[in-house]
Structures are given as structure tokens and as C-alpha cells.
Structure 1
Amino acid sequence: MSEVLAQLMAQAAREGSNIATMRAIAEEAGELSAMRALKRLGLGDEEAQGDLAALRELLGAWRDAKRSAWKAAAGWLLRIAGALLLTGLAMKLGFRAWLE
């Protein structure tokens, strides 16, 4: 337990707990819990902010690449469908005889 939290708990036990003391206890306990959770995840050091920024950048690049790949695939499918439609239309209108 952090020193501040321990002092606040002792103060609450000694003097009774008013709303300010209770709020301070809750805030300190929340901060202590958050720091423990970050340490367990390996994000408790000073390099963690840079690591998270790099991960966000990598994730953004991945999303952009995925979006571009889907657009390219859709473009190719539309081109193929258009080419097939034009080929079918040409055959229907008798352009095959012109080719021979």
C-alpha cells in the first residue's frame, strides 16, 4: 500500500471519515490500482508512452493498408465485370464476325 493511502486510512480511523478524506482515499486507491495494472502489463516504465505511441502508429498503418487493399480488390473486380460485360455485348452484337 502506498504511504499516502496508508496515512489517509489512519487519518480516517483516527478522526472519523469525512467526505474529503473518503474522496482522497478513493483517489489514491484508484491510482495505486492503475499503477499495479500497468506494471503487470509491462507498461509501468517510462518507455511505455513511446511504446504505445509506436503501437498506435503501427495500427493506423495497418488499417490504412487494409483499406487500400480492399479498394484495390474492389477496383479490379469492377474492371473485370466491365470487361466481361463489354465482351458479352460485343458477341451479342456480332462483333465476333469482324474479328475473323
Structure 2
Amino acid sequence: MAVLRAIAEEAGELGATRALTRLGLADEGAAGDVAELRELLKAWRTAKSSAWRASVAWVVRMVWALLLVGLAVKLGFGEWVR
């Protein structure tokens, strides 16, 4: 049983090493690269979320402005301004 476990562990390490080498993550700077990629992905998600919130806020403002203009026209404030 110990021999099978050792063979499986060795095969797993060899496979992981090959996969990391193919991805270009087998050197000493790989941990820093992965951390930088995670930071970049987090920044992208934050920017995307912020852009959606800003877009929704602008749409809501436009709806309110159109509602107020419509209400002003309906109540006759257009004539009052002239």
C-alpha cells in the first residue's frame, strides 16, 4: 500500500510540474505573477461593478428628470416660464 501511495504521489508531482512548466509558472517568480494576476482580476471586477453602478445611477437620474419635465408640462409651468 505504501508503494502505491508513493507511486501516486510521484506521478502527481510530475504531472503538476509538467503542467506548471507548460503554463510558464515553473520559475521562482511564478508566485508573484499569480498574485499580480489576482490583483489585476480584482481591480477589473471592481471597475466593472463601479461602471454598472454609475450607469444605473445615470439612468435613474434621467428617468427622474424626464418625470419632472413631464410633470412641469402637465401642470402648465411651460407657460409660466415664458
1:97 Cα offset (Å): 1.2
- What corresponds to 2:44 in structure 1? 62
Give the structure with the larger helix fraction.
2
Greater Rg by CA? 1
The reply to whether residue 71 of structure 1 matches residue 37 of structure 2 is: no
Q: Which has the higher contact order (CA 8 A, sep 6+)?
A: 1
The reply to whether residue 44 of structure 1 matches residue 40 of structure 2 is: no
> What is the aligned-residue identity percentage?
65
CA distance in 2, matches of 1:39, 1:62: 27
- TM-score normalised by structure 1 residue count: 0.80
- The superposition leaves residues 23-57 of structure 1 with CA deviations (integer Å, 9 ceiling, x where unpaired) of 11001100110001100110010100000000000
Q: Secondary structure at the match of 1:21?
A: helix
- What corresponds to 2:79 in structure 1? 97
Q: Which sections of structure 1, spanning at least 5 residues, go unmatched?
A: 1-18
Paired AA for residue 37 in structure 2: L
Q: CA RMSD in A?
A: 0.6
- What corresponds to 2:65 in structure 1? 83
Q: Secondary structure at the match of 2:25?
A: coil
Q: How many residues align?
A: 82
